[in-house]
Structure 1
Amino acid sequence: MYDLTEFNVRDLSECGLMLRSLGKDSQSMEAASNVIIKYLYENLVNLQTQEKSCVLIRLFKTHSYGKLTPELQKYVQNILKKTDIKYDLKCLTLLATAGEKPEWNYRDQSLGHQAIPLVNEEAIAKAPMISQMIKQLGLEPGILIQPDPTLFVDVEKQICQIFYVPDALDSPYIPAKKSFVIPFNVKSVLGCGGLLPLGDTFVVLMFLKVELPKVTLDLLRHLTLNIKMAILPFDDNNIFINSGQYNIINQVKDVNEQHNYIDNLKSEVEALNQLLNDSQKSTITQSQNLEKVIEELQAKIAKLEETNTKLLHGEKMSSLGQMVAGIAHEITNPINFIKGNIVYAQQYTESLIKLLATYQKYYPIPVPEVEEKIDEIDPEFLVKDLNKIYKSMRNGTEQIYEIIVAMRNFSRLDKAEFEKIDVQEAIDNTLIILGSRLKANSQYPAIKVVKEYKNLPLIDFYPNQLNQVLMNIIGNAIDAINEYNQQRTIEEIKKNASVIKIHAEIITTDWL
């Protein structure tokens, strides 16, 4: 399930993958659309209350009057109050619907939206919501009324937009305020859609109980591509569930089926390219966020080390512990988020790459436009470089996570009582905290640490006090080495490397 108010890249990838697979076993666009709309209605929820976010969700698609079912043709005739209607008159047709009221779950029970004839631009302008939705989706009314096939390739690439009304109650574009918006607590309205290869337009319209943040709106633009991929196979054949009953009478056979097939294939490839581009952009964004977090961590750790040096010999270790615990707490969640999402980002990227490889296997000779795109982006280099990027990101997050764990274990302000303690773990955590002081710098080589632990049992002690003792002992050792090295030359230091040996064993039953 997905909360639209907290929608993220992972939700987008999971939901998109599910939407693309839902229509595979369907026999018509209407059937596929029903599965998609019902899935979105059931899975878009408020995760805290488990209440559905959508009051009503519907999928519309434009069709020529001549390709509608006899029932829908009669429906349009009643609206226009005439029977002599042009075959190619475009109608915005309801394909799938799901909502709170039982009758909202059946297309043929809709009183006013089963099929909306788009007679001319003036008629569209009289319907404020439809007119504004067409405008915000980046379409011109003329494209819907009389499509120009020569413009489809260029226009189709650009259409991946959304129609959003943040305040449904005060918007002039949303009708039925008293009968629908107010009683069903509709807060906002979202529409997303685009063009299909044969010139028709599809739109998913959601009436929501929540207001959406900008980041969700940006992600939902990309979700449109997944819906398009799911319904695209039916663009040039069966549209309605009962289409087989009237196809022989009303359907006009396309004399250039091969051309339509190629157009569909181009559209699929273009949608896949856009999805891959979105995935790569998301990876770049995640990398930039990770780099930013790392920079902030480095600054905080540097500040922590500076403070730590000043407090080593005083009784202010408790203040240091509080600061360490606070920093560890603040950065644990973002690091875990990034660490977890790297795995999914890599899996999703690999899935998209495999999908493109499958297309290449069955369609080895691409059209010139696709071949030009392949030459431009160099997929082989991208695949190799992406693996390196993911590897370095994983290594970086693992190192940061180890530091956080050490900082958290070191502070342990919530464990001031007398308890069982793992001395070896306490020593190792202290060494991680002091790690930067042990590394080589511009003046001296690194200080080597030799650890000799002999079957150490758990001991009864105060965690905070033990950490303070270990920090003082090892810190004093580093200070002593640095003071001694100031009296030696670089050559002498290199010949006799600086070493701290930590030896721990049980001496008697009372002493470690």
Structure 2
Amino acid sequence: MYDITLFTPQDMAKCSLVLRHLGRNTASMEASSQKIVNYIYQHFCDSQTGENSCALVRLFKTHPYGELEDSLQQSARCLMNGHPPAADMKCWTLLAAAGTEPQWNSRHTAAKNTAIPLVSTQLVAQMPAISEIIRQFGLDIPTCLGIEPERFLQLEPAVLNIFHVPEAKGSPFIPEQDSLILPYQIKSVLGFGGLLRSGSLFAVVMFLKVKIPQSTAEMFKSLAVSVKKSLSAYDEQNVFDNPRNANNSVMNNNVIESQLLDFQVANLIQLLEFSEQKMLRQAARFQRTIDKLQREIANRKKKEEAFKASQEPFTGIVNIPQDNIVPFEENQGI
């Protein structure tokens, strides 16, 4: 288990290793996603009490409307006021959830709107939670909606980031204040994710009952790499659970294993590059610290030398032999 208030790089490495392998032996991206949110919900706990640190964990993915199952398409249409949806319209889709309440442990019952249509750049900009996730991930709305595919191709390997709201209560980026934040005493919200090769954006969002600083949140960028690895094998096929996927899971096992190996190689390379970049940033910070200390030491030496030089005129006075000192008395006598 991991105490997020005491989360260390060693904890991050252990958690990352587990998440990278949760995509194995599953029939769909949805099944892998459910494993991921279950693991996070169950294993992030208070080290003293054993209480879950998260009230709720969700995993979202943008997905074309035309490829959604019927129930998700219906959810999207309910928000479109009768306007006909385009088949390639992206929808902010809930793939998996795990949490305190029983209904939170299935994507079918975890939220009122399980597929939110991302109709246009203007409308997405008015959705505070989604637009802020996009912004904090270092993206722009047109890229996420597929309006600028050439820009996406340049960004996809590099975009793995976090979404952090240190103070959830009263935050304009968390609209579920009355239904979630206040009744369940959510202190911070932390998300992490990035881009998949298909052009989809994925995000794991943790609603935490403890407050965490930015330094802790930054470590979850590494977990984004591992979650991407688990989801990648099903990025363009078998996204949602259905009986056919379950029945064919054994038949497709060799194909899936082959795909997983291919994605594993690609993602391990990406993880290595990500780690190298992180090491370079840490080395740069370390070098800046050393340079600062060296400047401070040099300045201190200069001040000491200047102080010594200023004291030289007084050194001769202090060292005058006692025989050469003549005392004067108050009555002006010698």
TM range (shorter): 0.7 to 0.9
Shift of 1:270: 5.1
- Residue 126 of structure 1 and its aligned partner are, at CA, apart by 2.0
Count of residue pairs brought into register by the alignment:
272
| CA shift for structure 1 position 154 | 1.8
Which structure has the greater CA radius of gyration?
1
Residues 1:71 and 2:67 aligned together:
no
Q: For the residues of structure 2 that align with 1:283 and 1:158, how far apart are their CA atoms?
A: 16
Q: CA deviation at 1:278?
A: 4.9
Distance 1:118 1:283 in 2: 37
> Hey, what does 1:11 align to over in structure 2?
11
Q: Distance in 2 between matches of 1:111 and 1:167?
A: 22
- Which residue of the partner structure matches residue 49 of structure 2? 49
Residue in 1 that maps onto 2:220: 220
CA distance in 1, matches of 2:178, 2:75: 26
SS in 2 for 1:191: strand
Please give the alpha-carbon distance, in whole angstroms, between the structure 1 residues aligned to 2:206 and 2:216: 14
Whole-Å separation in 2 of the counterparts to 1:279 and 1:163: 19
Cα shift at 1:243:
7.7
Q: Which amino acid aligns with 2:194?
A: G
Cα 1:176–1:84 change in 2 (3 A) is: closer
Native 8 Å contact 2:56 2:99 kept in 1: yes
Q: Is the 8 A contact 1:118 1:124 kept in 2?
A: yes
> d(CA) in 1 for partners of 2:93 and 2:117?
8
Cα offsets for 1:164-219 (capped at 9, x unmatched): 01001131211232332111010011111111111111011111111223332221
2:316 aligned partner? none
Contact 1:149 1:198 in 2 (8 A): no
Structure holding more helix per residue: 1
Superposition map of 1:364-375 within 5 A? none
Is 1:152 aligned with 2:148? no
Q: Supply the AA of the counterpart residue of 2:101.
A: K
One-letter identity of the residue aligned with 1:152: F
In structure 1, the residue corresponding to 2:220 is in which secondary structure?
Answer: helix
Aligned to 1:273, which of 269, 274, 277?
A: 269
Please give the secondary structure, in 1, of the residue aligned with 2:143: helix
Cα 1:119–1:26 change in 2 (3 A) is: same
Instruction: Provide the residue aligned with 1:2 in structure 2.
Output: 2
Aligned to 2:165: 165
Q: Cα 1:126–1:279, aligned 2, differ >3 Å: closer, same or farther?
A: closer
- Tell me if structure 2 keeps the 8 A contact 1:167–1:187: yes
1:56-135 to structure 2, matched below 5 A, reads 56-82=56-82, 84-135=84-135
String of CA shifts for 1:40-99, please: whole Å, max 9, x gaps: 000011111111111111000011000000111122122213373211011010000011
- For 2:196 and 2:277, the matched residues in 1 are separated by 24
TM-score by length of 2: 0.75
**How do 1:386-401 and structure 2 match up within 5 A?**
none
Distance 1:42 1:54 in 2: 9
- CA–CA distance in structure 2, aligned partners of residues 93 and 283 of structure 1: 34
SS state of the match for residue 52, structure 1?
coil
1:140 shift after superposition: 0.8
State the secondary structure of the residue aligned to 2:189. strand
Q: Are the counterparts in 2 of residues 156 and 197 from structure 1 also a CA contact under 8 Å?
A: yes
Aligned equivalents of 2:21, 2:13: Cα separation in 1: 12
Give the C-alpha shift of residue 110 in structure 1: 3.4
The residue identity in structure 2 corresponding to 1:100 is: T
- For residues 60 and 222 of structure 1, the distance between their equivalents in structure 2, rounded to whole angstroms, comes to 18
1:21 aligned partner: 21
User: Unaligned regions of 5+ residues in structure 1, if any?
Assistant: 246-260, 293-512
| Preserved CA contact (<8 Å) 2:129 2:173 | yes
- Shift of the alpha carbon at 1:115? 0.3
Counting only pairs closer than 5 Å after superposition, residues 344-423 of structure 1 correspond to structure 2 as none
1:91, 1:115 within 8 Å by CA — same for their partners in 2?
A: yes
Per the TM alignment, residue 274 of structure 1 is displaced from its structure 2 partner at its CA by 3.6
Q: In structure 2, what residue type is equivalent to 1:271?
A: N
Q: Aligned pair in 2 of structure 1 residues 283, 221: CA closer, same or farther (>3 Å)? A: closer
Paired AA for residue 186 in structure 2: V
Q: Is the alpha carbon distance of 1:111 and 1:157 closer, same or farther for their aligned partners in structure 2, counting shifts above 3 Å?
A: closer
Secondary structure of 1:97's counterpart equals strand
Alignment check: 8 A CA contact 2:166 2:214 kept:
no
Secondary structure in 2 aligned to 1:163?
strand
Q: Is the 8 A contact 2:188 2:207 kept in 1?
A: yes
CA apart distance, 1:244: 4.3
Partners of 1:174 and 1:279 in 2: how far apart? 31
C-alpha displacement of 1:6: 1.3
SS at match of 2:48: coil
SS in 1 for 2:51: coil
CA RMSD of the aligned region, Å? 2.7
Aligned AA (2:268): L
- Cα offset, 1:136, TM superposition: 0.7
CA spacing shift, 1:7–1:20, aligned 2, 3 Å: same
The answer (yes or no) to whether the contact 1:96–1:107 under 8 Å persists in 2 is yes
Partner SS state of residue 233, structure 2:
helix
Per-residue deviation, 1:7: 1.2
Secondary structure at the counterpart of residue 240 of structure 2:
coil
**One-letter amino acid of the counterpart of residue 34, structure 1:** Q
Q: 3-state SS of the aligned residue for 2:108?
A: helix
**Could you tell me whether the CA contact under 8 Å between 1:152 and 1:197 is conserved in 2?**
no
Q: 1:85 to 1:53 in 2, by over 3 A?
A: same
Structure 2 unaligned blocks of 5 or more: 246-257, 290-334
Kept in 1, the 8 Å contact 2:142–2:148? The answer is no
Contact 2:63/2:90 (<8 A) preserved: yes
